[in-house]
With several copies, the nearest count.
Chain A
Amino acid sequence: MSGGHGHALYRPGDSAVHRLPAHVKVLALLAFVLVVVATPREHYWAFGAYALLLAGVAAIARVPARVVVARMVVELPFVVFALLMPVVSQGPRVDVLGLSLSEPGLLTGWNILAKGTLGVVASILLAATTDVRGLLAGLQRLRVPDRLVEIASFMIRYADVVAGDMRRMRIARESRGFQARHLGHARVVAQGAGALFVRSYERGERVHLAMLSRGYAGSMPLTATAGAGRADWLRGATLPLAAGVVAVLS
């Protein structure tokens, strides 16, 4: 429940990617995605090369393809969008398999699909190899204002509290003979949602007060992690540098 050690996408491990400090990974990811976004869409093979680079990272980090693919559903909405593009766009048309498609639309769809997918996969890899504590410490190192980091850490803790309370409430409901069978029962659940908010808040509030009681003054004393050495930066730079080379060559 509380504590928030892991999160949905995190896959504990001890690969070189896991060990890289979180802030190095975040910067590397950002640089990589920037290069991808800046690559003109006609440079088709460059995107293939980027994909290979990411596959390499995934292999080093030992993140199974299954995990990556499963999470890629987040991009479903814009895949739909990308697929629609050639149909609804204006401009000169070409015939593909009997369909009259818009040429710029095809390009646009491809552009969204390629860049979006690479971005999502890169983020999945970051998420899969970075635990919450590491990420928060990394954000701190990246000079993200304390306030934001504090809100983020409370948020992650609360996500656990809310999930835990939701579970408790479900168990309590079912133990007393409740099963959501028809729509009328939605009211019970909805009524619960408001109570859940107050209840999780108050539970979290009490925990917060307990922290204050034990001398908490705004930052975790134990989460301070070591900074990144030159080797870390070099290792982290590999991905964006390789991507950069691809971009220039393409």
Chain B
Amino acid sequence: MIEVSLEVAGLAFAYPDGHQALFGVDLTIGRGERVALLGPNGAGKTTLVLHLNGILSGGVGTVRVGGLEVRPGDRDTLREIRRRVGIVFQDPDDQLFMPTVRDDVAFGPANLGLRGAELDARVSEALDLVGMGDVADRPPHHLSFGQRRRVAVATVLAMRPEILVLDEPTSNLDPASRRELHDVLDSLDVTQLVVTHDLPFALQLCPRSVVLSGGAVVADGATADVLGDADLLAAHRLELPYGFDPRSVAPGRP
């Protein structure tokens, strides 16, 4: 059996205002797998993602990362888990907070103990991957939305996590950046969970797809099969974009 990287079991969660977002989610992802998480607006995708490193907690069910259980009280384990799981948030404004882009990208690796030349190299590398090397000295909140999203991706890449979780990474990216992001992700050999409404992107990048709807998993299988099931798609507000021909795309890796 393949090694398990992420394991979510029976996860249910309600927000403090009483609104329940997850109703028992089960999901297992093996090491090195690339999985797309699809589903309509408000399905609970972001809520699920925020459980993966203990940012949200307090519901029922368990989340395990490489065998370690995510438990809010256990600070040391939590630190280790956060080192392993890198999350790119859906809203880049939630991610960026330092005075300059460079500081922001350096924040994570510096917390991991990197210093000096090694840190600088890590930062430039991450910024170059997303094509944002030339804004390094500007304040992140003075960038355009798409630029901020790219920097947000860089902040997480710079930490070289074992598990990469991206929440809507392609939104607000210009088409070339979208393709470049695909190429970057495609070249990384880590476990990836990609939340997206961009079904062609999912098909291109991820061999496997999971559909979350109404706070529970309603489908899990090969992306081509999931996207080929018209009834399933229709039932969960998913549909292939107008003018998109799925047969023209070679799925990421078989």
Which of A2, A133, A164 gathers most chain B CB within 10 Å? A2
In the complex, A72→B145 CA distance in Å?
40
Interface of chain B residues 89 through 122 with chain A (CB within 8 A): 89, 91, 93-100, 103, 106-108, 110-112
- B55 — which chain A residues lie within 8 A by C-beta? 171, 174-175, 209, 212-213
If A176-B107, A210-B89 touch, does A3 touch B75 (CB 8 Å cutoff)? Answer: no
- A211 — which chain B residues lie within 8 A by C-beta? 97, 107
Which of A133, A168, A194 has a CB less than 8 Å from the CB of B93? Answer: A168
Q: Does B79 count as interface, using CB distance less than 8 angstroms?
A: yes
- B89 — which chain A residues lie within 8 A by C-beta? 172, 206, 210
Chain A interface mostly? helix
Q: Does A217 count as interface, using CB distance less than 8 angstroms?
A: yes
CB distance from A191 to the nearest CB of B (A): 7
In the complex, A149→B156 CA distance in Å?
27
Q: Does B53 count as interface, using CB distance less than 8 angstroms?
A: yes
Are A168 and B94 interface neighbours, CB within 8 A? yes
Are B141 and A214 interface neighbours, CB within 8 A? no
Q: Does B236 count as interface, using CB distance less than 8 angstroms?
A: no
CB distance from B41 to the nearest CB of A (A): 18
Stretch from A109-117, A136-144, A195-203 forming part of the interface with B: A195-203
In the complex, A214→B110 CA distance in Å?
9
Which of A2, A176, A191, A196 has a CB less than 8 Å from the CB of B111? Answer: A176
- B130 — which chain A residues lie within 8 A by C-beta? none
- B96 — which chain A residues lie within 8 A by C-beta? 2, 172
In the complex, A113→B112 CA distance in Å?
52
Q: Does A78 count as interface, using CB distance less than 8 angstroms?
A: no
- B91 — which chain A residues lie within 8 A by C-beta? 206
CB distance from B122 to the nearest CB of A (A): 13
Interface of chain A residues 179 through 210 with chain B (CB within 8 A): 179, 191-192, 194-196, 198-199, 202-203, 206-207, 209-210
Q: Mark B67-101, 1 if CB is under 8 A from A, else 0.
A: 00000000100010011011101010111111110
In the complex, A212→B110 CA distance in Å?
13
Q: Does B155 count as interface, using CB distance less than 8 angstroms?
A: yes
Contacts between the two chains (Cβ within 8 Å), count = 126
Which of B79, B82, B94 gathers most chain A CB within 10 Å? B94
Q: Does A7 count as interface, using CB distance less than 8 angstroms?
A: no
- B87 — which chain A residues lie within 8 A by C-beta? 175, 213
Which of B79, B95, B99, B155 has a CB less than 8 Å from the CB of A179? Answer: B79
CB distance from B206 to the nearest CB of A (A): 22
A interface residues, Cβ below 8 angstroms from B: 1-5, 133, 157, 164, 168-169, 171-179, 191-192, 194-196, 198-199, 202-203, 206-207, 209-217, 221-222
CB pairs A–B below 8 angstroms (22 shown): A2-B140, A172-B89, A175-B53, A178-B107, A179-B75, A192-B97, A196-B97, A198-B139, A198-B141, A203-B93, A203-B94, A206-B89, A207-B94, A207-B95, A209-B50, A210-B95, A211-B107, A212-B55, A213-B53, A213-B87, A214-B159, A215-B82
